[in-house]
């Protein structure tokens, strides 16, 4: 297994002497209420394919759960690692997705684009009747789940992308993506000392700014959970487990940044966030797949994860996680993270 740019969730690899640049050319077809791109919102028609290891896919898992779209869009889960061709359904009986009937997500890409030249990435939404991928545009996928699938949201679903806050959410999300979500990769896959140090400084400058921003407010934008919080969370929850050591983002651990650590625990303990996190898959993906960074493929035993379950005290800042809505129902049995892979089970 290698971090081949054609197949890695991040399109990430080390090029000596160069700065890591993410390929952001995705399949931009959208599933919309009016079907403008030929794919109308239709419950039961589409399957969201993810890996629990991938931070970009983790966003879609969280949003789907918060909005209660389990009946409207099924979930296919790839394993934490992939081979030289693509992500594989090795968690399913016989290594075949039970709905799509394919062993690897690459098959859905090639069903629509026989000569598809770009990265085979997750998350991806697949049209079940045709077996063809619709989109892998992870940023737009979650926004469309919030804005185009409203007719199928659960009663009490939160508004993760409220119209009056969209400009601010977009601005914060851009900063978080550039300096944090992608910033950790720019550190980890830097091809020179200079490129690494530039990315390192930029990452921690942004984390310091976020620490200050969140010292006086419970959530990133407004007084409820939004898309911005989802996007930051999936990097923070992976920070100490992989980014601090594996990607050399080691000025501080998350546990040493008091405000961000409390904020991350607050989200982790909110239904829809921590119950989507599989720490075993996360660690196995990064340490096994990225052979150019970790040629031995040894997966660290740590860190101690028990702190994720400790009180965070963020309630004192006010805020209402779900606004006028309600928390999602408990995770369905078939979609639960393996109990052995949770923070409680993997605590040192």
Q: Where are the alpha helices (DSSP H) in the chain?
A: 55-67, 106-112, 138-147, 166-176, 183-188, 193-213, 227-238, 258-268, 279-284
Q: Where are the alpha helices (DSSP H) in 45-121?
A: 55-67, 106-112
- Spell out where 1-85 has E strands: 46-51, 74-78
The H or E element that residue 103 is part of is: none
| Number of neighbours of residue 248 by Cβ within 10 angstroms | 16
The Cα 247–Cα 74 span in angstroms is 33
Contacts 24+ apart (CB under 8 A), 109-117: 109/133
Closest CA to 131 of 159, 94, 99, 165: 99
The Cα 165–Cα 169 span in angstroms is 6
The Cα 21–Cα 10 span in angstroms is 10
Residue 147 CB contacts under 8 Å (≥ 6 apart), including other chains: 161
Catalytic residue IDs: 54, 185
Closest CA to 226 of 71, 59, 72: 59
The Cα 344–Cα 348 span in angstroms is 9
Side-chain-side CA neighbours of residue 104 (13 Å): 15
The Cα 286–Cα 215 span in angstroms is 31
206 SS3 class: helix
Check the annotation: does 149 bind a ligand: no
State the binding site: 87
Binding residue ranges for glutathione: 87
């Amino acid at each position: 297994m290698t971090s081949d740019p054609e197949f890695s969730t991040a399109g990430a690899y080390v090029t000596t002497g160069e700065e890591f640049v993410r390929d952001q050319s995705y399949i931009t077809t959208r599933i919309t209420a009016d079907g403008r791109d030929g794919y109308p919102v239709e419950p039961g028609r589409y399957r969201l394919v993810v890996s629990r290891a991938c931070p970009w896919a983790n966003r879609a898992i969280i949003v789907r759960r918060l909005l209660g779209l389990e009946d409207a869009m099924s979930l296919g889960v790839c394993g934490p690692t992939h081979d030289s061709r693509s992500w594989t359904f090795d968690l399913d009986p016989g290594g075949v997705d039970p709905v799509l009937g394919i062993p690897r997500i690459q098959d859905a890409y090639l069903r629509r684009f026989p000569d598809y030249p770009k990265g085979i990435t997750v998350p991806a939404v697949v049209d079940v009747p045709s077996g063809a991928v619709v989109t892998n545009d992870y940023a737009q996928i979650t926004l469309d789940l919030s804005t185009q699938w409203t007719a199928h949201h659960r009663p009490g679903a939160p508004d993760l992308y409220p119209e009056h806050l969209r400009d601010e959410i977009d601005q914060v999300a851009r900063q978080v993506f550039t300096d944090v979500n992608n910033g950790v990769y720019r550190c980890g896959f830097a091809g020179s000392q200079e490129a690494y140090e530039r990315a390192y400084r930029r990452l921690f400058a942004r984390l310091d700014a976020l620490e200050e921003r969140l010292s006086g407010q419970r959530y990133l934008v407004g007084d409820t959970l939004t898309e911005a919080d989802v996007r930051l969370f999936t990097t923070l929850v992976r920070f100490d487990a992989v980014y601090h050591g594996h990607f050399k983002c080691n000025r501080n651990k998350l546990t040493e940044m008091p405000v961000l650590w409390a904020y991350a625990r607050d989200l982790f303990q909110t239904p829809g966030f921590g119950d989507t996190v599989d720490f075993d898959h996360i660690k196995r993906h990064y340490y096994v797949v990225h052979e150019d960074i970790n040629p031995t493929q040894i997966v660290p035993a740590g860190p101690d994860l028990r702190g994720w379950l400790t009180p965070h005290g963020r309630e004192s800042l006010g805020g209402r996680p779900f606004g006028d809505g309600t928390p999602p129902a408990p995770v369905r049995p078939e979609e639960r993270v393996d109990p052995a892979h949770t923070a409680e089970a993997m605590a040192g």
